[in-house]
Structure 1
Amino acid sequence: MIAQGQRLPEGILSELTADGVVEHQVRELFAKKKAVLFAVPGAFTPTCSNAHLPGYVALADEIKAKGVDMIACLAVNDAFVMQAWGKDQNATELMMLADGSGAFTKALGLEFDTGNFGGIRSRRYAMIVDDGVVTLLNVEAPKAFEVSDARTILAAL
């Protein structure tokens, strides 16, 4: 699993914009920025939709006021689902990033297999990334939601 002090691995994450699907090279996307990246097991799922994403939507301005250039939500879903979920949650200040194949999540070592529920998904986590280097990594225990929430990350900034 990736650790604090390590550089994000290479990878491609997708985002659906008004111009269509944009593929972002991870290292370029996080270069020369201070970012918060949080991941959820799946869009439109209960904890993700009722607590995790809404917390970042509500605190986006406060997080950005701490010098954060970008807040990104990641899930092993496709870009169309992520964009629809972002619209549903009014996540206008966040990037809704898709790791459709789960390749980036696997490169981080933060994947888990849900079996018939949805297959390979991301563990729930949040990280602070400074110029591509992870400076804080909070990974949740299975079925927990205690250390990756927006308030915890805001307090750490």
Structure 2
Amino acid sequence: MKAGLKLPEVTFHTRVRDDSIEGPNPFRWQDKTTSDYFAGKRVVLFALPGAFTPTCSTYQLPGFENGFDDFNAEGIDEIYCLSVNDSFVMNKWAENQGLKNVKVIPDGSAEFTRKMGMLVAKDNLGFGARSWRYAAIVNDGTVEAWFEEPGLADNHGEDPYGVSSPETVLNYLREANATAAA
């Protein structure tokens, strides 16, 4: 659906660890752009409704984290997890999940998600505006393959999961690489 789409250029307001800062919160603000994350790399980007939510924390994020070496073997340089959460929440979630491979991208103001056409209301769950669940293979800032959960709608009664799973994306990469090699 979005294959061939160039990702929108936005600025993400992130907090990064800085060991020169003393005290219990050794982080500083660092703005990063879409180009900072995606230029010159082939990555998997997956977006989800929220940090610390059940499907995201139990299946999707751990699956990408644990499968990083398999993705890397299929030509993926980085795996990014994006959510409409601020950097404080995303960093704490990454710490809670023990992430070593997947990098989190905070889209606190939902600018990227809105420009991707993936912003939905989840007021029925008390979440407010959030991202619809999807994954993409992105090559140098352009969508190569798109994996969107069915039913994109405001206040959807369910949280579909499967199309954007790490297993689905990895299978696609394996088949595409096997076809290219043949």
Q: Which residue of 2 aligns with 1:93?
A: 101
Q: Which residue of 2 aligns with 1:76?
A: 84
Gaps of 5+ in 1: none
Bigger Rg over Cα: 2
Gaps of 5+ in 2: 19-27, 152-158, 174-182
Shift of 1:27: 2.6
Give the conservation status (yes or no) of the 8 Å contact 1:57–1:90: no
Compute the RMSD of aligned alpha carbons.
Answer: 1.4
What SS does the corresponding residue of 1:155 show, helix, strand or coil?
Answer: helix
* Amino acid in structure 2 at the alignment position of 1:59: G
Query: C-alpha separation between the residues in 2 aligned to 1:80 and 1:98?
Result: 9
Instruction: State yes or no: 1:27 paired with 2:35.
Output: yes
Instruction: State yes or no: 1:130 paired with 2:139.
Output: yes
Which residues in structure 2 correspond to 1:2-81 (within 5 Å)? 3-19=2-18, 20-81=28-89
Q: Which residue of 2 aligns with 1:108?
A: 116
Instruction: State yes or no: 1:145 paired with 2:154.
Output: no
Q: Which residue of 2 aligns with 1:156?
A: 172
* Amino acid in structure 2 at the alignment position of 1:31: A
| Bigger Cα displacement from structure 2, 13-22 vs 123-132 | 13-22
Shift of 1:152: 1.0
Query: C-alpha separation between the residues in 1 aligned to 2:5 and 2:31?
Result: 23
Query: C-alpha separation between the residues in 1 aligned to 2:110 and 2:30?
Result: 17
Give the conservation status (yes or no) of the 8 Å contact 1:9–1:27: no
Query: C-alpha separation between the residues in 2 aligned to 1:145 and 1:96?
Result: 19
What are the Cα deviations for residues 32-53 of structure 1, in whole angstroms up to 9, with x where unaligned? Answer: 1001000010000111111111
Normalising by structure 2, report the TM-score: 0.81
What are the Cα deviations for residues 1-27 of structure 1, in whole angstroms up to 9, with x where unaligned? Answer: x71111101112243321323221103
What are the Cα deviations for residues 72-128 of structure 1, in whole angstroms up to 9, with x where unaligned? Answer: 000000111101111111111111110000011000000100126121100000000
Shift of 1:61: 1.3
User: Aligned in 2, Cα 1:95/1:21: closer, same or farther, shift over 3 Å?
Assistant: farther
How many pairs does the alignment contain? Answer: 156
Normalising by structure 1, report the TM-score: 0.94
